[in-house]
Amino acid sequence: MKKILFVGLCFLISLSNSYAQRFGYIDSQVIIEQLPEYNEAEQKLKKLTDKWLTQLDGMKAEIADLERAYAHEEILLTPEMKKEKLDKIADLKKEMREFQTNHFGYEGLLYSKRMEYMKPLQDKIAQACQTVARQKKLNFIFDKASDITLIYSDPKYNYTDFVLDELGEGDPEDSPR
């Protein structure tokens, strides 16, 4: 009787292990930095940012010039002319703030361009993660670079190299586990 009970218990323990959920993690920042498309996207964003910053600097310089000119001519101007020049300076400042907000603000052009360039890369990584998860029979893949805090992670559960291999960006020197 004890033997049967022991065999039954061993069988139940082995069954519970076979249904254990498998998980792994990746470091998407490492993956994304190794994709050539990421460097291209970053260069495009840098060009756009530099162009917009140049425009912004031009606006600032124009405002500074108008303010200097107003300060020098203020004594000679009639009240109507003063109001006209101050209104022009105020309008240019408002235009500059709108430009800044529209281009660099939250959900501005820079944000939308970044999303436009990064979305295909994120989709590509997600597809590779799904493929690796199916191949390795994983139930979950966590991203070490995201807001999820991993206090400790055993390197044997790191599937970053597998995802890089799936994307064709893996190091040929590394052999997948």
Distance (Å, rounded) from C-alpha 48 to C-alpha 55?
A: 11
pLDDT at 171: 67
Q: Is 0.85 surpassed by the pTM of this model? A: no
Q: Which of 120, 118, 124, 125 is nearest to 45 (CA)?
A: 118
pLDDT at 4: 60
Place of tokens 């004890």: 2
143: three-class secondary structure by DSSP: strand
Q: Which of 116, 164, 143, 154 is nearest to 28 (CA)?
A: 143
Per-residue pLDDT, averaged over 36-59, amounts to 96
Give strand pairing partners of 140: 23
Whether the CA torsion 66, 71, 76, 78 is positive or negative: it is positive
Q: What digits encode the pLDDT tens for the residues 96-148?
A: 999 999 999 988 999 999 999 999 998 998 888 888 888 888 888 888 887 76
Distance (Å, rounded) from C-alpha 103 to C-alpha 82?
A: 31
How far is CA 159 from its chain centroid?
20
Cα atoms found within 13 Å of the Cα of residue 55, Cβ hemisphere only: 16
pLDDT at 173: 62
Distance (Å, rounded) from C-alpha 76 to C-alpha 22?
A: 81
Whether pLDDT at 156 is above 50? yes
Distance (Å, rounded) from C-alpha 142 to C-alpha 64?
A: 51
Grade residue 157 by pLDDT with cuts at 50, 70 and 90: confident
Place of tokens 């994983």: 138
Q: What digits encode the pLDDT tens for the residues 55-95?
A: 999 999 999 999 999 999 999 989 999 999 999 999 999 99
Pick the more confident residue, 8 or 90. 90
pLDDT at 137: 85
Q: How many residues belong to the chain?
A: 177
Whether pLDDT at 53 is above 80? yes
In this structure, the strands spanning 23-26 and 140-143 are parallel
Whether the CA torsion 130, 132, 136, 142 is positive or negative: it is negative
149: three-class secondary structure by DSSP: coil
